[in-house]
A and B are shown apart, each in its own frame.
Chain A
């Protein structure tokens, strides 16, 4: 069970450096995205296409998965099926061991973070090195991702310089971005050249051809997917798209929504094994890990449409203040608030669906039109149905009963006016007992009116 979101958020909100780092970064990406999206005349049609393709995939997932397996196998890949994290990790470890590999290189991948592959490999005596610049920073620091696209968004470059000085560079390193990138390049290059096994996730898996697609900005991913002779890709089953042609839609939607770029810098696609070119042994691990349970929920399944662009994080007024760690999952922000409780079970993350003011900014920017507020409400109802908070339930039921009749409502208002008398001073309530002090600790409250509208209306001439 993750720690309740409100407690995690409180710690994050109290950290001024974190707040400044987050605000600067989310503001920048948000502005870039807005410009990149405004350029596209048929953006709404693209979004609809992105949604419709995913809806089709989910409605016919079994057929597409079997089609993918057949096509990938024909092309020379070995396809594995993993029902949960443990199975997937075991498959990857087995492959590493079969080649006596002691170090694998990782492409930035949320799916492998979700199953905690690095720790599982470590436990099996295989070390896994992150090669994405930000993921490397986090690994060197023993930290974890707080953003889908920019995992080290909570770190600024001075902090990164200090970390690199401690780990992979010397004291002459400055916090100039080019110098920091160069330090990581020197560190990684040797490892790319000696690596014997790469591990990736997938942005898309094409059912028609059995191809895997990974999009990234640095080229380090491509190093991992082309240099080592063995490559394993861990693919969530919702990552399928029917045809190569469907990439056209997503390769427009994804970069503009995520980095605010017109085109993605490094788009790698590979289909099976090609003699003399790239990895000569290719594995694909198709991962469920809770996804079929999400799929069974007619409202909640929309979360499986997600293409991991992170636009919803950058516009979210909650995420942009608390950061990603508060969500207690590799999937933070609004999408995490609807995906995590479904993947791991609502009883293990009951506060996440409530970590939103329902402002709707996420839905507005989602490139595949996931109605996040609607799914949040659906999950809130589930959380309440699963037990919720007994005290709260009593209050909500009493309120519903009170609102069920105008006389009861008026009587309650009049009672409230009497009760609030010692609390209201000069037209304001400045202090209330728990749990209502959650409001008055930081905000004044307007008391109930001396004359309600209803009373005024009744006395009109």
Chain B
């Protein structure tokens, strides 16, 4: 299958490893990845911060750039959810990575091997907006050697929330501190999720606390061999 990759602004500039891993997983499964070069940002940050006309301009741009693509994948549930809510014509065409694999391509075992203890943080938008359900857990369950550990209050927000992390930095910090405490208590050596933005928040706090726990995007685990 020919699949267009929407890498997202953060995925492009801050966490390119995630896009490389997404490409690797899908190519390993025999699919062709295309990267529409004009793409930049979906506009979510502007929408969520109250800059609606700017957000709409960027969303329109996204619609034009990906207009011809039959199947689009993105390793960010948050951007996928926003775009699908904004443009209903993207339903059935635009997928978050775990959704694409499990629901569209009916694959759970992508041939990955990752012998580590892993905690899965279900991000808010993946749960409540994009609704990826248990797709990430099914993929992780099929990874050779991976031990999935329970995470207390897993579905509670990590406190990122886009500009919330800056505007309400104290509250955001209180939230991520609790999240990191739960992660530490889980005994995991790696915490994973389907949103790079939340992982920046969690990873940024873990690192500040001097924690040995690493953050990896789901795609990075699935890309291992």
A87 and B45 alpha carbons, distance in the complex (Å) = 43
Chain B residues with CB below 8 A from A9, complex form: 168, 170-171
Q: How far apart are A245's CB and chain B's nearest CB, in angstroms?
A: 33
Complex interface bits, A343-370 against B, C-beta within 8 A gives 1, otherwise 0: 0000000010111111111011000000
Residues in B neighbouring A402, C-beta threshold 8 A:
40
Interface magnitude class on chain B: 35 or more
B-contact bits for A401-439, CB 8 A (1 contact / 0 none): 011111001000100100000000000101000011011
Please, how many angstroms separate the alpha-carbon atoms of A10 and B171 in the complex?
Answer: 7
In the complex the two chains form, is B173's CB within 8 Å of A442's CB?
yes
* Residue in A357, A381, A409, A449 whose beta carbon sits within 8 Å of that of B172 in the complex: A357
Kindly state the separation between the CA atoms of A456 and B35 in the bound complex, as whole angstroms: 11
Q: Does A169 contact B (CB under 8 A)?
A: no
Residues of B near A442 (CB, < 8 A) are: 169, 173, 176, 205, 208
Chain B residues closer than 8 Å to A438, beta-carbon distance = 165-167, 169
B37 & A380 in contact (Cβ 8 Å cutoff): no
Is B175 at the interface (CB under 8 A from chain A)?
yes
Determine if A359 and B169 form an interchain contact, defined as CB atoms under 8 angstroms apart: no
Q: Is the CB of B46 within 8 A of A359?
A: no
Q: Which residues of B contact A409 (CB under 8 A)?
A: 9, 12-13, 40-41
Instruction: Select which of B54, B161, B201 is within 8 A of A397 by beta carbon.
Output: B54
**A5 interfacial by beta-carbon distance below 8 Å:** yes
Q: Which residues of B contact A354 (CB under 8 A)?
A: 163-164, 167-168
Q: How many A-B residue pairs have CB under 8 A?
A: 186
Pick the residue among A356, A406, A413, A454 that contacts B164 (CB under 8 A): A356
**Bound Cα distance from A402 to B170, whole angstroms:** 29
**B16 contact from A360, A397, A439, A453, Cβ within 8 A:** A453
Distance of A451 Cα from B113 Cα, bound (Å) = 26
A158 to chain B minimum Cβ distance, whole angstroms, is 24
Enumerate A260-304 residues with CB–CB distance to B below 8 Å.
none
State in angstroms the CA–CA spacing of A322 and B159 once bound together: 13
Q: Does B71 contact A (CB under 8 A)?
A: no
Interface size, A (range):
35 or more
Query: Which residue of chain A has its CB nearest to the CB of B163?
Result: A354
- Is B121 in the interface zone, CB < 8 Å from A? no
B89 within 8 A of A: no
Rounded to whole Å, the gap between the CB of A380 and the closest CB of chain B is: 3
Select from chain A the residue with minimum beta-carbon distance to B11.
Answer: A453
- Nearest chain B CB to A22 CB, angstrom units: 11
Quick one: which of B20, B46, B171, B204 has the most chain A CB within 10 A?
B171
Chain A residues whose C-beta falls within 8 Å of the C-beta of B16 in the assembled complex: 449, 451-453, 456
Stretch at the interface among B93-101, B122-130, B187-195: B122-130
Report if B114 contacts A (CB, 8 A): no
Query: In the assembly, what is the distance between CA of A438 and CA of B204, in Å?
Result: 13
Identify which of B166, B172, B205 contacts A435 (C-beta below 8 A): B166
B42–chain A nearest beta-carbon distance, Å: 9
- Chain B contacts of A428 at CB under 8 A? 207
Task: Assess whether B14 is in contact with A317, with CB atoms less than 8 Å apart.
Answer: no
> Does A388 have its Cβ within 8 Å of any Cβ on chain B?
yes
- Nearest residue (CB) in A for B42 is A403
Given contacts A406-B37, A442-B173, contact A355 B168 (CB under 8 A): yes
Q: Is B7's CB within 8 Å of the partner chain A? A: yes
- The 8 A CB mask of B41-80 against A (1 = contact, 0 = none) is 1010111111110110110010000000000000000000
Q: In the complex the two chains form, is A406's CB within 8 Å of B38's CB?
A: yes
Chain B residues lying within 8 Å of A360, measured Cβ to Cβ, are 124-125, 127-129
Is A449 in contact with B14, judged by CB distance below 8 angstroms? Answer: yes
Which B residues are in CB contact (< 8 Å) with A397?
51, 54
Chain A residues lying within 8 Å of B47, measured Cβ to Cβ, are 377
A301 and B11 CA atoms in complex are apart in Å by: 37
Query: Which residue on chain B has the smallest CB distance to residue A447?
Result: B14
**Is the Cβ of B171 less than 8 Å from the Cβ of A380?**
no
A9 to B49, CA, bound (A): 19
Interface residues of B in 104-159 (CB under 8 A from A): 124-125, 127-129, 155-157, 159
Chain A residues positioned under 8 Å from B173 (CB to CB): 441-443
> What B residues does A318 contact at CB under 8 A?
168, 171, 175
> Considering the chains assembled together, what is the distance between the CA atoms of A397 and B54 in angstroms?
7
A99 touches B (CB below 8 Å): no
Residues of A within 8 A of B166 (CB): 435-436, 438-439
Q: What is the distance, in angstroms, from B157's C-beta to the closest C-beta of chain A?
A: 4
Residues in A with CB closer than 8 Å to B157 are 317, 357, 359, 361
Residues on the A chain within 8 Å of B163, using CB: 354
Tell whether, in the assembled complex, residue A439 and residue B161 are in contact, meaning their CB atoms are under 8 Å apart.
Answer: no
* Contact flag A317-B128 (CB < 8 Å), given A6-B167, A409-B9, A443-B208: no
- Quick one: closest A residue to B65, CB to CB? A406
Whether A453 contacts B175 in the complex (CB less than 8 A), given A317-B156, A409-B9, A442-B205, comes out as: no
27 A-B residue pairs with CB within 8 Å:
A5-B168, A6-B168, A6-B170, A9-B171, A13-B174, A317-B175, A321-B175, A353-B50, A354-B164, A354-B167, A361-B156, A377-B47, A380-B50, A384-B52, A396-B49, A396-B54, A400-B57, A400-B58, A403-B43, A406-B38, A441-B173, A443-B201, A446-B15, A448-B14, A453-B19, A454-B7, A456-B20
Chain A to chain B: the 10 pairs with minimum beta-carbon distance, closest first: A357-B161, A380-B50, A443-B204, A384-B50, A360-B128, A359-B157, A400-B54, A359-B124, A453-B16, A438-B169
Given contacts A317-B159, A357-B124, 4 further A-B contacts (CB under 8 A): A10-B170, A361-B157, A409-B12, A442-B173
